Structure 1
Amino acid sequence: GIVPFDDEYKLSAKRVFNRAALQNVQDQLPVYLRQHGFDVERGIQESQHKSLTVPEYKAMREDLKKVTLQKREMQAELEDARKRLAELKPRDQQEIESKPTFLSKDKVVVRKSDLHDLESRAAVSDIYNQQQNRLKLDNQSLNYQLLEVKDNNYELSKKNE
């Protein structure tokens, strides 16, 4: 505790704690604390950096929560799509029976059931691939946003300390 008496033994915080005195305390206190076993560092001297207000800090925390939530939702959606793809029964290891056509060497004839199965699998696969690509891009974007917000949050936390 400190009682701010000036040289004339008058109680006066305004005369004792001027800018120069406070800077002197900020310079000497970390040295004293290090000598007594504390791991502290002096802050940045004469920093022109402005501290955040409480509403600004809370807004940053809310942004961080939103981005984290969006990332979780995207990951859940991707996992859902993977489960739906896995639910498709794997085809038997048998090859699809095909016969060459009479007039064209590049075409074959297959059973309707095999053709329908292949078409449905191709459609699901296309949808899955589109979703996966979109989710990858969204996930990359959200990861970038999350890193920015975390970095900003870390800097702000350090400044507030």
Structure 2
Amino acid sequence: MTPSETPIAIGSDHAGVELKAQVKQVLESAGHKVEDFGTHGPESVDYPDFANKVAGAVVSGQASFGVLICGTGIGISIAANRHAAIRCALVHDTTGARLTRQHNDANVIALGARLIGPEVAIDAVRTFLATPYEGGRHERRVAKLSPERAPVA
């Protein structure tokens, strides 16, 4: 997990706010710049608002990667994937985090705060950020997911 000059965008709804704070602290301790798009408290909020902010930061190049957290990770990952050029994967462990980077070139990771503990979540984020995309045999498939990489017909 080598820090880059481009920040990592992070966001959560109310269910993920505590886990987000823990992940953010670990990333900053490792030397990463982190742009926190909220939420910052337990008041009920709508997860698509935070998925949109994080996805927008990744698409624009303001952030190199995104980390999203809600109760299950499902809703926030669906919201993020509505953005062209976002490949957001809901992961539950380091294997999923590693494979989604290697095979899918995912640029956003989603976590379910009610489903995994902080140790697993932090290990998954570390693995996600440290794993390069393999390209090669995966490129054709990823191009079909990504308008900016799709072959010209």
TM-score normalised according to structure 2 size: 0.19
Q: Which has the larger radius of gyration?
A: 1
Higher helix share: 1
